[in-house]
Structure 1
Amino acid sequence: MTQQQKTIVVTRSSQGARSGVIQAFLARSCNILDALVSPIMFNTFKHAVCASLFAVTALTVAVPASAQPIPYPASFKTDMINVDGVKFYVRVGGRGPAVVLIHGFGDTGDMWTPLAVALAKGHRVVVPDLRGMGLSSKPEGGYDKKTQASDIRAILDKLGIDKADIVSHDIGTMVAYAYAASYPDKTAKLVVMDGPVPGIPPWEQIVRLPVLWHFDFGGKDVLRLVQGRERIYLDRFWNDFAGNPAKLDEGTRTHYAKLYARPGAMKAGFAQFQSIRKDTVDNAEFVKTKLTMPVLAVGGEKSFGASQAEQMRNAATNVTEVIIPDAGHWLMEEAPAATVKAVQSFLDPN
């Protein structure tokens, strides 16, 4: 085991890209995978494959009961903001420099409550549900991340916000990168948490991984397969990509499963992934000009880990790396205190 592999928590800045390929992560009890997969793979994918091999599936993981995700306080106001006929459910709270929190698949803007409340002490915090997700409306198209970046920009324009920090997780990182690349002068700082960005090396290796089967899960019968089984489908992601699936309690799972069972929600969720091919093409152009604003790349120790920063160094010149110990992909559910501290320290270093 190398010293780099032993690292649990890392925070460092880099001016310019670091050469070399991403180091292999620990296979642990899944050493058999070392004969099957490339060393460029992310730890999160090995973890998920191992979970499947050892039958750690949605049907076998017990989770503790809980009411629901932590609700936003009354100081946060909600609104439906219309952008070219698409209505976005948006939460806004706090005063100060603006920060936008962008969720991913498997949850909604409700995931951000602990971070939003902490940041609202010194920021104006904007938390939308993405196009087609949560309580936002569900149009037929526009799920490429460049279009969704323009959604975010339009929401900020309607709120009278010119420049903002952008914080993101999962496929939210794809939207956030497209936003920062499209509107660099309006992006103060960028935070990407545990989610690869299409088109940025080593994307071609990442996208071949069998565990990413859901990127191409489509076809005329896909909705019939999942309809009424949304909880089963989502449990697969919550369990396989978690460092500790029990951290996603029963109330949280029930809450999000109900939201994804709303009419059009799963269709929109599939469209988020089916648009990745276009995102790859768009980002191949974006990445020709590296981002120059400060970027924080956060990975769960049992998920992307240092690989989040490794990828972002191919797209940005000033990247700070943080690894959240003992956490998998679902950072806000698995390690909220450590994640909030990492983001706050980056956005407000003084």
Structure 2
Amino acid sequence: MRCALMTTLGIVVFAGSALAQPSLPSTFRARTVASPEGASIFVRSGGSGPVVVLLHGYAETSDSWGPLATALAKSYTVVVPDLRGIGRSSRPAGGYDKKTQAADIRAVVTTLGYDRTSVASHDIGIMVAYAYAARYPDKVERLVVMDAPLPGIAPWDDIVRNPALWHFSFRGPDAERLVRGRERIYLDRIWNAFTGDPGKPDEATRNFYAAQYAQPGAMRAGFAHFGAFSQDAEDNRVFQRTRLTMPVLAIGGEKSFGAIQAVVMRNVASDVREAVVPGAGHWLMEESPRATVALIETFLMDRTPPSATVSRPADERRVTPSEFKFSEGSGAGTGTSGVSGIRTVVLKGDPDRAGLYTIMLQVPAHTRIASHDHQDDRVATVIMGTWFLGYGEAFDPALLKALPPGSFYTEPANRAHFAETRDEPVIVQITGMGPSSTRFVDLATDPRRSP
């Protein structure tokens, strides 16, 4: 999985200068709006036409929207606030749950004299945008969400098990002390972990955002956005009872959320269009501004009635057994044991990347797999043959259970297990939430190790 973008100055072109810091158009007007929820929200706006609100995410400020704001301002009124606690907005002690922040955004919209708007969002911004659309559904014409999960909405529980998301739980006075004066080091880790291009964000952009987050109280406020996730999850489960009906565009970076973004939104909305930005990681405005802006502009201009667009998901697939293309060779592959002779086929997703995946393993007769585990939580079904599976730190025949075709079993994250086939080959189908991995309890039994 991966996190957000934005703040002030200069002018941004799609190609972007390597030395230019992120900024909104210089013609945008700035003001501060007092939210009834106890925050002062800094907002800039410009352009003319239908209103579009842009909500940024973490590790950035509203300036990250420079490429999109510049393009949209030709035909739309663009409203770009800094979220509570970030950039030039105030940093109150509380109110970082996304339901409260939705009220902040509503105050911005109405104070500026607007009512119904479209909303585009990224990273933590999509959590605020979803809460806004759920609280004020008649005030949102179209909703764009980009590359982030929603707390409490499937597959949230699987996503947060990803070790790369340790920063979701990193907060408190000691965490603040650890990063004080080292904000750039902390943020570099987030930018680097979720980019599809090691050069993005560039140096000027990183220095700009690091300076913003080094302001007094800024890291505390940033951490508070994550600290509110448990409350957000409770609120979202209530919001989920009433599905969003406005058109929703779910965009994922190919090397980040990808098609999973649409999977998330189909759990809360009835009219979801799906888009994946090729080659991009999480930082879409930094890595692929042209492609991302084009997707959003096309979506905002599309006036197709919702009933005409609620069709099959773009990633639907129907495959018969004769169409499976099993790998040839060693059997090695992410999410597998790597035992020689095992053949695999990836049916959906990619076990190397964040998101849902399904693989099928064809295991020869008389194969033994030593005790090992995987970092992701997985479920499996036996398709053909009788599979013998056990749980434990060492292979123990006494703990094996015979699982005939149709049997179901689980491979909990980091839970050691072992298996074998006997006089017949076996096919098993496994589904997990990537990225996956395989770790053998006893390294000497790892078939992938060098002699």
Q: 1:83 aligns with which of 32, 35, 41?
A: 35
Report if the CA contact (8 A) 1:68-1:254 is conserved.
no
Residue of structure 2 in register with 1:179 after alignment: 132
Q: 1:68 aligns with which of 7, 14, 20?
A: 20
- Relative CO higher for 1 or 2, CA cutoff 8 Å, sep ≥ 6? 1
Matched, 1:193 2:177: no
Please give the secondary structure, in 1, of the residue aligned with 2:192.
helix
Please give the secondary structure, in 2, of the residue aligned with 1:248.
coil
Aligned-partner residue type, residue 187 of structure 1: V
Residue of structure 2 in register with 1:55 after alignment: none
Matched, 1:131 2:89: no
How much has 1:197 moved relative to structure 2? 0.7
Q: Partners of 1:275 and 1:209 in 2: how far apart?
A: 19
Aligned-partner residue type, residue 133 of structure 1: I
Q: Partners of 2:198 and 2:53 in 1: how far apart?
A: 27
Indicate the structure with greater helix content: 1
Residue of structure 2 in register with 1:280 after alignment: 233
Q: 1:326 aligns with which of 279, 292, 298?
A: 279
Q: Partners of 1:166 and 1:257 in 2: how far apart?
A: 26
Aligned-partner residue type, residue 75 of structure 1: T
Report if the CA contact (8 A) 2:255-2:281 is conserved.
yes
Aligned-partner residue type, residue 268 of structure 1: A
Q: Render the CA deviation track for 1:125-167: whole Å, top value 9, x for unaligned.
A: 0000000001111111000000000100011110111100010
Residue of structure 1 in register with 2:210 after alignment: 257
Matched, 1:92 2:92: no
How much has 1:73 moved relative to structure 2? 2.5
Q: Partners of 2:168 and 2:196 in 1: how far apart?
A: 21
Report if the CA contact (8 A) 2:172-2:220 is conserved.
no
Matched, 1:112 2:57: no
Q: Partners of 1:348 and 1:319 in 2: how far apart?
A: 16
How much has 1:102 moved relative to structure 2? 0.2
How much has 1:211 moved relative to structure 2? 1.7
Q: Any residues of structure 2 matched to 1:287-306 within 5 Å, and which? A: 287-306=240-259
Which 4+ residue blocks in structure 1 deviate beyond 4 angstroms? none
Report if the CA contact (8 A) 2:34-2:107 is conserved.
no
Q: Render the CA deviation track for 1:168-194: whole Å, top value 9, x for unaligned.
A: 000001000000000000000010000
Aligned-partner residue type, residue 202 of structure 1: P
Residue of structure 1 in register with 2:352 after alignment: none
Moved more, 80-89 or 128-137: 80-89
Residue of structure 2 in register with 1:167 after alignment: 120
Question: With structure 1 as the length reference, what TM-score do the two structures score?
Answer: 0.80
Report if the CA contact (8 A) 1:65-1:250 is conserved.
no
The percentage of counterpart residues that share the same residue type is: 58
How much has 1:234 moved relative to structure 2? 0.1
Indicate the structure with greater strand content: 2
Aligned-partner residue type, residue 24 of structure 2: Y
How much has 1:65 moved relative to structure 2? 8.8
Q: Partners of 1:260 and 1:163 in 2: how far apart?
A: 32
Q: Partners of 1:247 and 1:208 in 2: how far apart?
A: 26
Please give the secondary structure, in 2, of the residue aligned with 1:208.
coil
Question: With structure 2 as the length reference, what TM-score do the two structures score?
Answer: 0.63
Distance 1:219 1:76, change over 3 A: closer
Q: Partners of 1:259 and 1:234 in 2: how far apart?
A: 11
Please give the secondary structure, in 2, of the residue aligned with 1:273.
helix
How much has 1:209 moved relative to structure 2? 2.1
Residue of structure 2 in register with 1:222 after alignment: 175
Matched, 1:315 2:268: yes
Q: Render the CA deviation track for 1:202-252: whole Å, top value 9, x for unaligned.
A: 112112222221111123311110100000000001111000120211100
Report if the CA contact (8 A) 2:61-2:209 is conserved.
yes
Q: 1:103 aligns with which of 56, 59, 62?
A: 56
Report if the CA contact (8 A) 2:171-2:220 is conserved.
no
How much has 1:89 moved relative to structure 2? 1.2
What is the count of residue pairs matched by the alignment? 290
Residue of structure 1 in register with 2:221 after alignment: 268
Aligned-partner residue type, residue 201 of structure 1: A
How much has 1:343 moved relative to structure 2? 0.4
Matched, 1:210 2:166: no
How much has 1:69 moved relative to structure 2? 2.7
